[in-house]
Amino acid sequence: MVVSHNRYFVERVTDSTVALLGDGRLYNRGQSDVTSGVRIYAQGVDQSGGGANEINRVVKGVNTPTVGDLDCTSGGFSGERCSIKVINTNVTINAGGLLSYRMVQAEQTGHNNAAGSGDSGGPFYKRQADGTVLATGIISAIDAAAAVKCTGVPTSSSRTCSWRMFAGRVALALSNLKMSLNTG
């Protein structure tokens, strides 16, 4: 599974393209359900673009987020970040003039980095005791008003990171389209 905001790249390198839209619609080109698997970068990407401390986790199902849940993100630059608490499950955000509805708002409990620029499109998930995960959402935006020091690679001033982030909901998208998630 490749997760990216770059539609043109994804369409060139994959057999099937699936887009999670802010209103919970899932646009699918090529097959009737979504294949499982998530690649986690424990420390983000290295300077060559490869994963630093890459971990592969099996997706065992879908998590419907509820207020109070503690989940994790894995951004391409920030790496795996946990203790991210769901604050609201029905937020409308305006990201550069594009409205996204029914988004999840979540905050890192210690006000450390939850996600940052370059992490969009990465997974938002609930870790299970056996090392597997439940898919909660897709990292979509951060709140620049809650800016904190970035983690992972690169940590330069060119990146913006936040302890507050927003995600599109996987369960909502699958439900709206009467689709399922193939699990490992």
* Pairing, β 133-142 against β 59-62: parallel
- Dihedral Cα 76, 78, 81, 86, nearest 10 deg: -80
Question: Which CATH number goes with the domain that contains 132?
Answer: 2.40.10.10
In a domain, 1, yes or no: no
Return the DSSP state at 30. Answer: S
In a domain, 51, yes or no: yes
In a domain, 182, yes or no: no
Q: Which residues touch 144 (CB under 8 Å, ≥6 apart)? A: 160, 162
In a domain, 164, yes or no: yes
How many domains does the chain divide into?
1
In a domain, 111, yes or no: yes
Q: How much is the pLDDT for 94?
A: 86
Q: Which residues touch 2 (CB under 8 Å, ≥6 apart)? A: 10, 13, 14
3-state secondary structure of 10: helix
Beta strands in the chain (DSSP E): 17-20, 26-29, 38-41, 54-57, 59-62, 70-75, 79-95, 98-108, 115-116, 123-127, 133-142, 147-148, 161-162, 164-169
Per-residue pLDDT of the chain (184 residues; tens, 9 = 90+): 555 544 444 544 455 555 554 444 445 544 443 444 444 444 444 444 444 455 667 788 899 999 999 999 988 788 889 999 999 999 999 877 888 889 999 999 999 999 998 888 888 999 999 988 899 999 999 999 999 998 887 666 778 999 999 999 988 888 887 877 777 5
Host domain of residue 28: 7-176
In a domain, 183, yes or no: no
* Pairing, β 123-127 against β 59-62: unpaired
